[in-house]
Amino acid sequence: MALIGESISKCTQAAQGQFPLILVVDDDDDSLTLISYVLEQLACAACFVADGYGALVAAKRYQPSLILTDIYLPQVDGFNIIRQLRSDSETSAIPIVAVTALASKDDQVKILNAGFDGYISKPFLIEALEEMVCRFLRLT
C-alpha cells in the first residue's frame, strides 16, 4: 500500500496547510485510489490509514476536517472508531462518513444510529462522494 505510506508522511504538512484535511480509513487499495482522485479534484489534503487503530491515532493527532472510513477494518472496526472518537472531547465534533460495502437499508440505519454523520455504499459514484465531501466541508 504505497499510497498509505506516502500519505502518512505528509499528514503533518497537510494538517498545517491551507486545504481541508480529510482522513481516509480503508484497507482496500482500489477504494483508496478512487477516493484520492476525488479529494485531489476538490483541492483537499488527504491522510490515508489502513486500520482502525491508525485512524484513532491520526484523528487525534491531526484533527482532520472530515473522516471517511470503511466499517470492516483490521484491528478496530468502524463502529468502534466512531464510539471512541465521539467519546473523546478532542475528536467528538469531527464529521465522520461511513464508506462501506454494507448496503442494505438496515445497515444504513445501523450506521447512522451509531453516530456517523453520513453514509456512502461501495461501489460509489464519484459524484456521490464529491457531494458528500462538499456538504461537510461547505465547498462549492
The pLDDT assigned to 9 comes to: 44
Q: What is the pLDDT of residues 27-41, one digit of tens each?
A: 998 999 999 999 999
Q: Full-prediction pTM beyond 0.85?
A: yes
42-53 mean pLDDT: 92
Burial class (CB in 10 A: 0-12, 13-18, 19+), 24: buried
Residue 10 has pLDDT above 60, yes or no: no
pLDDT band at 139 (very low <50, low <70, confident <90, very high): low
Give 47 or 4, the one with higher predicted confidence: 47
CB 57 within 8 A of CB 84: no
pLDDT tens digits for range 97-115 = 999 998 789 999 999 999 9
Q: Where are the domains of the chain?
A: 2-135
Alpha-carbon gap, residue 88 to 85, rounded angstroms: 5
Nearest CA to 65 out of 34, 38, 96 is that of 96
Rounded distance, CA 94 to CA 76, Å?
Answer: 18
- Residue 7 pLDDT more than 60? no
Q: Where does residue 6 fall: left (phi above 0), alpha (psi -120 to 50 degrees), or beta otherwise? A: alpha
C-alpha cell, 50: 489502513
**Structure confidence at residue 97 (pLDDT):** 97
CATH 3.40.50.970 holds for 2-135: no
Report the distance separating Cα 88 and Cα 9, nearest Å: 25
C-alpha pair distances (Å), 97 with each of 16, 46, 92: 23, 15, 13
Condensed to tens digits (0 to 9), the pLDDT of residues 54-105 reads 999 999 999 999 999 999 998 899 999 999 999 999 999 999 999 999 878 9
**pLDDT of the residue at 23:** 96
Q: Is the pLDDT of residue 14 over 90?
A: no
